[in-house]
Amino acid sequence: MEKNHYTDIRRFILINMILVPSIPFLIVIGIGYHQLSRSIESSTIASMERIVGDHRHMISSFLDERKNDLELIVNTVRFDELIRPERLSSVFTQLQLTSSAFSDLGIFDENGVHVAYHGPFNLTGKIYREEPWFQETIKNGVYISDVFLGFRNFPHFIIAVAGMGNDRPWIIRATVDSQRFTTLVRQVRIGKTGEAYLLNSQGVLQTNRRSGGELMEKPLDTIPTPPKGDDIHTLIHSREGEETFLYAGAWLKDQQWLLVVRQEKSDAFHALYDSWLPVGLISLIGGACIVWAAFTLTSAIVRKMEKTDTEKALLSQQLIGASRLAELGEMAAGFAHEINNPLQVINTELSLIRVLKDEMVEAGHLQKGESYEEIVDSMDQIKIQIDRCSKITRAILKFGRQEDGHFESLALDKIVPEIIDMVQKKAEINGIRIERRLPDTTIRVQADSARLQQVFLNLLNNAMDAIIEKSGSTGGSIRVSVRDGSNGMAAVNVSDSGAGIAPENMAKIFSPFFTTKPVGKGTGLGLSVCHGIIEQMGGKMVVSSKVGVGTKFTVELPAAQLKI
Amino acid sequence: MEKLKLMIVDDEERFLTTTEKLLKKMGVDVVTASSGGEALEKLRAHTVHVVILDVKMPGMDGVATLKQIKRQFPMIEVIMLTGHGTLESAVEGLKTGAVDYLTKPADLDQILEKANDAFSRRKSIEERIRVARMRGLMKSPREILKNT
């Protein structure tokens, strides 16, 4: 029950001491980690958006410049001039000076006839009227195709611009090597897996992709097409059984091409994943610290509590014991007092009987004889019993009266021999030797001299009785020693070679009314009174005994402080 | 020679009657009272030299009675009779003016012995007072006239 009580307290304190600091600790760790991941995510996404934005701008500029090159030709050179091969050749040379990306140049009339061409192939005379790009150019005035390999077998696209000559439309068309911006796009490299590529509106690759996916192919990881517009869109997308990627995409070339930058999510957020280790380590160490502190403090608290409780229990036990003894003493005193009054009456009555008896004898009413002797003996017995009662009540009253006393500084090495002298004669008669072991220095105690005398007389008388009980008149020895004890206590030992105390009586030795002496010989209050006196003086009285060997009483008294 | 006149004060009636009987047999003049009040009353009517006074009595207790006796009749010697086998009450009595104390149960011989001691003490004091007065008288007889 008691043990359970402490286990409950221990559990309660432990749980609280672990939980209470853990909650703010976990909240701080959680908020910190959340903020960290937010900031890493947003900075990663921001950098991807910047890359997409920059590259879109570059590619758009490249396309615009090439378109402008052709528009410049259309606006500055007349149709009939251009169809002259040498003029076309010089214009192409001029064009290649501005950008080496141009690989050929062709002129078409309004019917789609390839009227002039400068380039590595002989295409002059071919009719393109039905070609979609031709119709598109006539309609819109400008056309930029998707990238294709064609029979040239390298990635290229065409730019066509329509012009007006003699009220008839004509078209100038140039083939542009797309390697330029392919390189530009492929140069994008973020972390380990970050890459960029171009898709057309059908999702077909317009550039090679570093991680796989050839030009003109549709990549396997088709991503949801972002809504058209100038905004940059980001999304996280994963295909079954593959890494999750972080995508950023932006439309360019009049919403026909989609520039995509993608990076494996684990790579993009590797800073975040890297921070797992320190965060985890901090949590682990912090948690361990909390648990360790909780356990240490809890055991300390519970230990302290147990100690306090034990002390409290002991104290209350002592208090109960002391108050019980005081109550008992008070009751005994009152009881003794009440007995004394009837005793006084009996005593007086006995005296009267005696007087009357003597008168009757004198008057001759009473004959001396056997009956007379018996009456006299009986009356003597009454007197003896009255004295016995009186002795008991006197002892009880002494027991009940333990509250006062006159304390003074006494030299033990002086007072003890004086007390021994008082019993010396009785000891000699019984053949008992009293051995004295006194210190060379003076040992002083704070005590009441009359009470102290009562205690030691009692102990010495008991010792002599014990010796007489064991050896009769053959005698024995008593040893009285005075010495400095520990903790500022002075000690007096009274040991005898007497009969000893039976083990079963040891616990009751200081109890009031306990005696092993024959009826009428002892009141059973002597040692109990002595014990009370010594306790009241702040001392201690202990006994050790062995049947047939002897008994040793030790009285410890607080040593008097030396006055300086 | 003046004879000892003794008063015994105790709340035990039987003790009083028996003791009175015994003392009378011994030829001692005895007056008894069973309470402090009665004792004071009887002291006014009778000449008493020594009072044996029980400490513990209902109503006015021994110490209070002693104080009254010593105030009203300073020449009467009081011996305390205590049921406590202890010094305290006796010491208190002695402080208040009792000449001696006895503890219950006390033998009649003891009581008589202490009473006689007290009586002779009283007599010697009275003697000394008488001698002192005589001396004063011889010095100046006028002073006696003044005092009377």
Specify the CATH number for the domain of residue B81.
3.40.50.2300
B116, part of any domain:
yes
Q: Contact B105/A344, CB-based, under 8 Å?
A: yes
Instruction: Tell me which DSSP letter residue A126 carries.
Output: -
Which of B22, B104, B108 has its CB closest to that of A340?
B104
Give the per-residue pLDDT at B18: 92
Confirm or reject contact between A37 and chain B (CB < 8 A): no
pLDDT at A559: 83
Residues A29 and A93 in one domain: yes
Where is pLDDT greater, at A341 or A253?
A341
In a domain, B10, yes or no: yes
Residue from the list A346, A351, A401 with its beta carbon closest to the beta carbon of B108: A351
> What backbone torsions phi and psi does residue A331 show, to the nearest 5 degrees?
-65, -45
Chain B closest-CA separation from residue A302 CA (Å): 51
Q: Is A510 found in the same domain as A376? A: no
Range of the domain at B57: 5-122
Smallest CA–CA distance from B102 into chain A, residue: A344
- CA-CA distances (angstroms) from residue A385 to A264, A392, B86? 115, 11, 21
Same domain, residue pair A509 and A445:
yes
User: Does A1 have pLDDT greater than 50?
Assistant: no
What mean pLDDT is predicted for residues A171-186? 83
Instruction: Specify whether A209 is located in the same domain as A277.
Output: no
Contact between A150 and A161 under an 8 Å Cβ cutoff? The reply is no
Q: Is A236 helix (H, G, I), strand (E, B) or coil?
A: strand
Query: pLDDT at position A564, please?
Result: 41
Partner B contacted by A349 (CB < 8 A): yes
Tell me if chain B has a CB within 8 Å of the CB of A451: no
Q: What is the mean pLDDT of chain B?
A: 85
Q: Best residue in A339, A344, A391 to probe B by mutation, most B CBs within 10 Å?
A: A344
Query: B86 vs A401: CB contact, 8 Å cut-off?
Result: yes
| Any domain includes A221 | yes
pLDDT of residue A405: 62
* Position B140 pLDDT exceeds 70: no
Residues A176 and A56 occupy one common structural domain: yes
Q: How confident is the model at residue A561 (pLDDT cuts 50, 70, 90)?
A: low
Rounded to two decimals, the ipTM of the complex is 0.80
| Complete DSSP assignment for B19-86 | HHHHHHHTT-EEEEESSHHHHHHHHHHS--SEEEEES--SSS-HHHHHHHHHHH-TT-EEEEEESSSS
Beta strands B5-9 and A444-447, pairing class: unpaired
Q: Does A563 reside within a domain?
A: no
Query: Nearest-CA distance from B21 to chain A in Å?
Result: 8
Side-chain-facing half-sphere of B145: CA atoms under 13 Å: 5
- Disruptive mutation site among A338, A340, A448 for chain B (greatest number of B CBs within 10 Å): A340
| pTM higher than the cut 0.90 | no
Residue A441: the pLDDT is 84
pLDDT at residue number A314: 81
Mean per-residue pLDDT over chain A, rounded: 84
The C-alpha of A394 sits at a distance from chain B's nearest C-alpha, in angstroms, of 5
Q: CB–CB of A175/A145 below 8 Å?
A: no
Exposure b/e, A114-149, CB count within 10 A at least 16 = b? bbbbbbeeeeeeeebeeeebbebbbeebebbbbbee
Does the pLDDT at position A483 exceed 50? yes
Which residues contact residue A316 at a Cβ distance below 8 angstroms, ignoring those fewer than 6 apart? Answer: none
Tell me which chain A residue has its CA closest to the CA of residue B108.
A348
- Provide, as residue numbers in chain B, all residues whose Cβ is less than 8 Å from the Cβ of A404: 88
Q: From the CA of B140, how many Å to the nearest CA of chain A?
A: 51
Chain A nearest C-alpha distance from B3 (Å) = 22
Per residue in A313-349, pLDDT tens? 888 777 766 666 667 777 777 787 788 888 999 999 9
By a Cβ cutoff of 8 Å, what residues of chain B touch chain A?
A: 12, 14-15, 18-19, 21-22, 25, 56, 83-86, 88, 103-108
Q: Which residue has the higher pLDDT, A67 or A560?
A: A67
Which of A399, A416, A441 is the last residue before a domain boundary?
A399
A262-310, pLDDT tens digit by residue?
A: 888 888 888 778 888 888 898 899 899 999 999 999 999 999 998 998 8
Contact call for B88 and A348, based on CB within 8 A: no
Q: A181 pLDDT band (50/70/90 cuts)?
A: confident
The answer to whether residue A43 neighbours chain B at the CB level (below 8 Å) is no
Residues from chain A contacting residue B14 (CB–CB below 8 Å) = 345, 349
Query: The domain spanning residue A431 has which CATH number?
Result: 3.30.565.10
CB distance A340–B85 less than 8 Å? Answer: yes
* Strongest mean pLDDT among A444-448, B30-34, B122-126: B30-34
Q: Is residue B39 part of a domain?
A: yes
Instruction: Say whether both A379 and A410 belong to one domain.
Output: no
Residue in B with minimal Cα distance to A339: B83
Q: How many domains would you assign to chain A?
A: 3
Rounded distance, CA A96 to CA A119, Å? 12
User: Residue B6: helix, strand or coil by DSSP?
Assistant: strand
How do beta strands A489-496 and A476-484 pair? Answer: antiparallel
| The predicted structure's pLDDT at residue A382 | 93
A388 and A456 both lie in a single domain: no
Confidence of residue A381 (pLDDT cuts 50, 70, 90): very high
* Helical H segments across A248-269, by residue range: 265-268
Q: Write down which residue in A380, A399, A418 finishes a domain.
A: A399
Tell me the C-alpha distance between B17 and B25, whole Å.
12
Range A63-83 average pLDDT: 88
Within-domain flag for B13: yes
- B145 falls in which pLDDT band (50, 70, 90)? low
The answer to whether residue B50 sits within a structural domain is yes
Residue % of chain A over a pLDDT of 70 = 95
H helices of A222-269, in order, are 265-268
Per-residue pLDDT averaged across A456-461, rounded?
90
Report pLDDT for B86: 54
Of A23-27, A214-218, A233-237, the range with the lowest mean pLDDT is: A214-218
Domain membership of residue B91 (yes or no) is yes
Quote the domain boundaries for residue A427. Answer: 402-558
Please check whether residue B142 lies inside any domain of the structure.
no
**How much is the pLDDT for B43?**
93
A340–B106 CB contact, under 8 Å: no
pLDDT of residue A304: 92
H/E run at residue A246: strand A244-252
What is the pLDDT at residue A196? 87
- Rounded to a whole number of angstroms, the distance between the first and last alpha carbons of chain B is 26
The answer to whether the CB atoms of A394 and B14 lie below 8 A apart is: no
Identify whether B24 is part of a domain. yes
Between vectors from CA A537 to CA A533 and to CA A543, what angle results, nearest 5°? Answer: 60
CB pairs under 8 A between A and B: 62
Which has the higher per-residue pLDDT, A150 or A86? Answer: A86
Cis ω for the linkage preceding B74 (within 30 of 0): no
Looking at residue A233, its pLDDT comes to 86
Residues of B with Cβ-Cβ distance to A333 under 8 angstroms: 84
pLDDT band at A401 (very low <50, low <70, confident <90, very high): low
DSSP class per residue in B118-131 = HHHHHHHHHHHHHH
Q: Which residue of A has its CA nearest to B103?
A: A340
Q: CA–CA separation, B140 vs B148, rounded Å?
A: 13
Answer whether A378's CB lies under 8 Å from A416's CB.
no
Q: Does the pLDDT of residue A563 top 50, yes or no?
A: no
Average confidence (pLDDT) over A138-142: 88
Domains in chain B, number: 1
Cβ distance B15 to A348 less than 8 Å, yes or no, reads yes
Q: A74 phi and psi, to 5 degrees?
A: -60, -40
- Do A257 and A294 lie in a common domain? no
